[in-house]
A and B are shown apart, each in its own frame.
Chain A
Amino acid sequence: MDALYAAAPALALSVLALALSAGRRGPAGLLPALSSACLFAFAALLLYSYSVVDWVSLVLSVTSFALVVVVTLYTTYYVEAERLPRSLPLLVSLFGFSISLTYLAVNLILFVIAWSFMEIIGFVLVRIGEEYSTEGSLRAARGYLLTSTTAFEITAFTLIVLSVPSIVSSYSPNVLYQPFAGATPVVEVSSPVLLALLLAGFVAKAALFPLHFWLPGAHSTAPSPASALLSGLTTPLGFYGLLRLTEIVDLTAWSQSLAYLLLAMGLSSIAYAGLEALGQRDGKLMLAYTTVLTNGFTALLFALYLTSPTSTLLLVAVVLVMLMQMGYKTVLFCGMGLIELAYGTRYIQGLAGVSQQLRTSSLGVLIAVYTLIGVPGTVGFLAKLLSMYLLLTGVVGGGGPPAVAALAGAVLYIALSAVVGVRVLSVYTASMRSRRPPLEFKQPNTPLEAAVLVMGLLSLAPSALLLQGLGGPGWLVALVVSTLPIPLLVSLLQTARVVTGVARAPV
C-alpha cells in the first residue's frame, strides 16, 4: 500500500500536467504533455514493481496513456480546424486520463470510481459530437447514456451489493480495498440473474452482439479524437473488467456456461458487425462496426481463457488483441478525422489516392491498416499468430464442436478484418491509372498529421515490450524487433510519389 501513497501524487501531477497541455499550441502544450506521460509511466512502474498491480494493468495503462497524450495534442489542433468548442481538448484529456486510470486501478473502489467518471465525460463528448456533427445520429448520446453507462452502473452496484455479505462476515470492507494483483475470489454468485447483472456492464461496454446497438451511433457521432478514445481505449475496458470480475467473483461454477455465452456472442458479433462494416460508405461508421468485429474476436479468446484460466499464453493473446485494438483504432479514427478536414466529407466511397496528399499522416494510418490486416512486425500479426495457434491446438487436440466454432469465428474474423483493411488501404493507395476527377482538397495543419504519424509509430511498440516483460525466448523479441521495419518500409513506399497517367490508347 505504501507504493500507492507514492504513486498517488505522481498521478495527480500527471493529470494536472495533461490538463495544462490541453488546448495549448506548440512547446507550451508539448512539454506538459510529455512530462505528464513520464509521471504516469513512473507511477505505473512503481505500482508494478511493488506488485500492487499486475503486468496486464501495466501494459494496458501505459500503452493507453501514451496514446491519450498524443490524442490530446491532436485535439488541440483539431478543435481549431473544425471550430469545435474550446473545452474539447480538456474534456478529451480528462476522459483519456480516466480510462488509463481505470486500467491502472489497484482495487475495486478505484476501478468503479474511475470508470464512472469516464462514463460521464464520455457522455458529454458524444453530446458535443451530436450538436456539432452534420452526419451523425441524433440519438447517439441517449443511446450511450442508457446502454453503456446505465449497464455499467448496474453492474458496479450489483458487485458492491454482492460483496456486502463478505464485508459483514469479516467485519471489514476488505473486499473493496484488496488489490487486484493476487486477489482471492470472495464474492459468490447464486443465481443466473445476478450473473447477468454482473456481466451486463462489461458486455455492453465491449458492445458484443445483443448489446452492440448503441456503439456505431455513439462512436461515429463523437468528434474524431473522442471517437478514437471511445473506440480504441474504452471498448477493451469491457474485457479488462471481465478479467477483474473473474478475480473477485468466484465463477468456477459458471465458467463453462459463461464461455459458451461469450462464444455465441463473439461469433454473432463477428458475423453481424463484419458484414455491416463492409456495407458502410461512412468511414467512421465503418470503423465503429470494425470495433464490434474486433471485440467479437476478443470474446472468442476470452471464452477460451475462461475454460482454462491458468494458461498464460491465452491471457497474453487476449491482451495482445486488446493492444491491437487500442493501436489501430485510435490511429484510424484520427486519420478519418483528417480526411474529414481535408476533403470536407467522411464518405470514403469516392475517395482514392489519399496517401499522395496527406503524406505524413498516411504513414501512420498505413501502419495501423497493416496492424489490422496482420502484417509481420505489427501487434496484429502477433495477436493473430498466437490466437490461431491456440485455437488450432484446441481443434487438433480434440476440443470438439466449441473449439471448431471458435476456430471458424477466428477465420471469419481474419477474413473480414483483412477485407476492411483493404477497404481502407484502397482509399489510401494511389492508382497509376486514375479516372476520377480529384476532390477539392484543403491541407490540414502539419502538427495534426504529425500526431497521427506518432500514434501509428506508437502502435508498433507494445508487442516488443510485452514479450520482453513476459520473458519469452530472446529470439522471439529479436524477431519482433527485426520485423518492425517491414510495416514502416512498406508504408514509406506507399506514400512515395507515384506517377499517374493514362495508359496509351489502342492502336
Chain B
Amino acid sequence: MPEPLFKALVDALSMGLVLAGALSVDSHPRLSRALRLAGFAVPLVSLVYAPYGLLWFQYFFLVLSFLVSIGVSLHNEDYYRIVYGSASYPQAVIDLSLVLLEVAFSSVNLIELFVAWFTLDLVLLLVILLERGMENYRVAVTYIVLSMLPCDLSLFTFWVLVSGRTGVYEAFTASFSELAATPASVGLLPALLLVVGFTAKLAQFPIHMWLPIVHPEAPSHGSAILSGLVVKLGAFMLLMTQTLFQYPAVVNAVLVAQGLVSSLYGFLAASAQDDLKRLLAYSTIGHTGVITVLLGLRGLLPVDTALLAVLYVFYHGLTKTLGFLNAGLLEQVAGSHNLYDLGYVDRVAPEATTPAVVAAMSLAGAPPTLGFTMKALTIYAVLTVALSRAASPEGPAWWALVVAAALVVSSVLSVIYSVKLVASYTSTPARAGLKKPEVGRLEVASERFLSGLIIASPALALLLPSAPAVFVLVSYAALAPFVIGLHLRRAALPEEKPWATGVEL
C-alpha cells in the first residue's frame, strides 16, 4: 500500500473512533472511553506496521500527545458531566483537537500537516468559544491575529521553500524523511519568515502576548491542550525547519535572544500573578523560552541540545497539562481561580492536592519530578561550555555564562510562583462549614496518571548519551522522602471540628 494512503487511512480511523466515542459519551460512557482510547492509540500502534518512518523527534511528540490526550479526554468527561450534566459536545470538540494534534505530530508529508493544522485552528476556535460563546469573541480574535496568522505565514513559506526543490504540487507529497536527507540552504529573509511564525506559536518575546490573554479565558481543558500541545507545535516546526533546511547562523542567535528574554520575562510575570490560570500561562512563556534557547544553541553544547529540547518539551507538556487540568478541577470545586480567594482547597478536595503539588514541584524543578532532571541537565549543559574554557587564554565563553546566569535566575523565579501555586491549596487554616463538593473519579484518575508519569519518567534523560546519570539517580532517590512526606502530612491533618461561639460541639 502506498505510504500516503496508509497514513490517510490511519488518520481517518483514529478520527472516526475518537469522534464516535466522544459523541456517545453520555449514552454509553464505558464504550465511549474504550473507543476514544483506541482512537488515540491508533497512530502509535500503526507505526508497527507502517511502511514509512517518522523523523526522530516526531516519535517523542507523538507519544507526548498520546499521553496528554488520555489525561485530558478522561478529565474532560467528568468535568462537564458534573458541571453541566452532559459532556458530548465539549467532548467532541476537545477530543477532535487532540486527535488532530496527533495527526499533525505524526504527519509524513506537507499536505497532511497542512490539513491537520488548518483544521486544528478551526477546532481550537470552537474550543475557545465553547463555554462562553460570544463573550470570548475578542479572545478568539487575539488568537487568530497573534498566533494563527504568523504561523500560517511561516507554514506557507515552508511550502514555498520545499517547492523550490521539488515543484509546486510535489512539495505536498514529498516525504519529510526524504527531504531531511539533503537539507537545503536558505537565505536570511526566508529563514526569518519561517522563524517568526513558529516562535509566535511558541509565544516568544515580541509576539508572546496572545498566550496570557487566551489561556486564562479558554476553558481549562482547552488551556491544557493549548499549553501542553498546541504551543509545542512551534517547537515541532522549528525542529522540522532545522532538519530540512540550513539557514544562516544569525537566526540561531535570534532564537537564543528571544528565548532568554521570554524566559526571564515569563517567569517574572508568573510570580506576580494572582490568577492561577494566568500564572500558568506566563509560566508557559518562561518554559518555552528555555526550549527556544536550547533550539538556538544547537551544535554549540557538548550535549545534543535538540534532543534535550525535545525532552524538555515532553516534560513541560506533561506538567503544564496537569497544571491546567488541576486548575479546571479547582474551578469546579471552588468556582474561582483567583489565588487569594483560595487556600482552603485541600480541606474540601484533598484528592486534588497531590497532583497540584507534583505539578508545582515539577514546574519549580524539585526532585523527584522530571522537572528537576530537565532543569539540572539544561543548566549543566550550558555551564559546561561556560566553564570549559575558563583556564584557557581567551577566557570563559561569555555568551554561555550569560545564558547560564539567565537560566539560573529563571529557575529561582519559577520556585516563587510554584510556592504560590501550592499555597492555593494549603495556605488558609481550617475553616468550618465547608461543604465537600463532588470530585469526579475520572478526574482524579487522570491527574494521578499524569503525576505518575511525571515522577516515573526522569529515566528519559538517560537517552542523552553524554549527560551525567547522577541527575536521574537523585530524582529517583528523592522519591522515598517525597512519598513519606505526603503520607505523614495526610496522617497529621487534624480532624475538622465545627465549632460555634467558642463551645466545641
Contact = CB atoms under 8 A, between A and B. Distances in A.
B261 interface: no
B89 A496 contact: yes
Given A419-B145, A426-B129, A504-B83, A374 B335 contact: no
A506 interface: yes
Nearest to A417: B144
Nearest to B335: A506
Contacts of B119: 375-376, 486, 490
B152 A396 contact: no
Contact of A381 (B85, B118, B193): B118
Most buried by A among B115, B121, B189, B331: B115
Contacts of B126: 429, 490, 494
Contacts of B164: 396
A415 B152 CA distance: 10
A507 B435 contact: yes
A74 B193 CA distance: 46
A374 B118 contact: yes
B133 A415 contact: no
A432 B84 contact: yes
Contacts of A435: 135
Nearest to A422: B140
A172 to B, nearest CB: 43
A289 B483 CA distance: 63
A388 B335 contact: no
Contact of B163 (A389, A425, A499): A389
A431 interface: yes
A422 B90 contact: no
A313 interface: yes
B144 A419 contact: yes
B156 interface: yes
A476 B170 CA distance: 10
A503 B335 contact: yes
Interface string A372-384: 0111100001000
B157 A414 contact: no
Contacts of B172: 476
B145 A415 contact: yes
A396 B168 CA distance: 14
A425 B134 CA distance: 9
Nearest to B437: A507
B335 A430 contact: no
Nearest to B190: A396
A483 interface: yes
B384 interface: no
A418 interface: yes
B243 interface: no
B478 interface: no
A506 B334 CA distance: 5
Contacts of A83: none
A193 interface: no
A130 B141 CA distance: 34
B133 A429 contact: yes
A370 interface: yes
Contacts of B89: 432, 493, 496-499
A270 interface: no
A423 B131 contact: no
A472 interface: yes
Interface string A345-356: 000000111000
A493 B93 CA distance: 8
B103 to A, nearest CB: 12
A392 B55 CA distance: 27
A309 B115 CA distance: 30
Contact of A431 (B85, B133, B348): B133
A389 B160 contact: yes
A435 B132 CA distance: 9
B106 to A, nearest CB: 17
Interface string A403-415: 0000000010011
B16 to A, nearest CB: 10
Interface string A315-350: 000000000000000000000000000000000000
A252 interface: no
B358 interface: no
Nearest to A430: B133
A14 to B, nearest CB: 37
A422 B141 contact: yes
Contacts of A395: 189, 193
Contacts of A422: 125, 129, 137, 140-141, 144
Contacts of B83: 501, 503-504
Nearest to B12: A482
B160 A396 contact: yes
A2 B19 CA distance: 55
Chain B: number of interface residues, binned into ranges: 35 or more
Contact of B332 (A418, A431, A504): A504
A393 interface: yes
B123 A490 contact: yes
Interface in A452-507: 472-473, 475-476, 479, 482-483, 486, 489-490, 493-494, 496-501, 503-507
Interface in B81-131: 83-86, 88-90, 92-93, 96, 111, 114-115, 118-119, 121-123, 125-126, 129-131
Contacts of B153: 388, 411
A389 B8 CA distance: 24
A309 to B, nearest CB: 19
Contacts of B144: 415, 418-419, 422
B159 to A, nearest CB: 6
A389 B149 contact: no
A347 B19 CA distance: 35
A429 B131 CA distance: 10
Given A494-B126, A507-B435, A411 B149 contact: yes
Contacts of A498: 89
B187 to A, nearest CB: 8
B426 interface: no
Contacts of A271: none
A435 B86 CA distance: 18
A419 B115 contact: no
Interface in B313-367: 331-336, 348
A415 B149 contact: yes
A385 B115 CA distance: 11
B387 to A, nearest CB: 42
A375 B169 contact: no
Contact of A353 (B92, B133, B193): B133
Most buried by B among A435, A472, A489, A493: A493
Contacts of A494: 126
B161 interface: yes
A432 B90 contact: yes
B434 interface: yes
B498 to A, nearest CB: 15
Contacts of A433: 131-133
A330 to B, nearest CB: 21
A507 B343 CA distance: 13
Contact of A418 (B114, B148, B160, B189): B148
A434 interface: yes
Contacts of B115: 376, 479, 483, 486
A427 interface: yes
Interface of A: 313, 351-353, 370, 373-376, 381, 385, 388-389, 392-393, 395-396, 411, 414-415, 418-419, 422-423, 425-427, 429-435, 472-473, 475-476, 479, 482-483, 486, 489-490, 493-494, 496-501, 503-507
18 contacts: A389-B159, A392-B160, A393-B160, A395-B189, A395-B193, A414-B152, A415-B149, A418-B148, A419-B144, A422-B125, A422-B140, A429-B126, A429-B133, A430-B133, A432-B130, A499-B84, A504-B437, A507-B348
Given A414-B152, A418-B149, 14 more contacts: A374-B118, A385-B156, A392-B160, A393-B163, A422-B129, A423-B137, A425-B129, A426-B140, A427-B134, A476-B172, A496-B88, A499-B89, A503-B84, A507-B348
Q: Which 7 A-B pairs have the closest CB atoms?
A: A431-B133, A506-B335, A499-B86, A352-B134, A388-B156, A426-B137, A392-B160
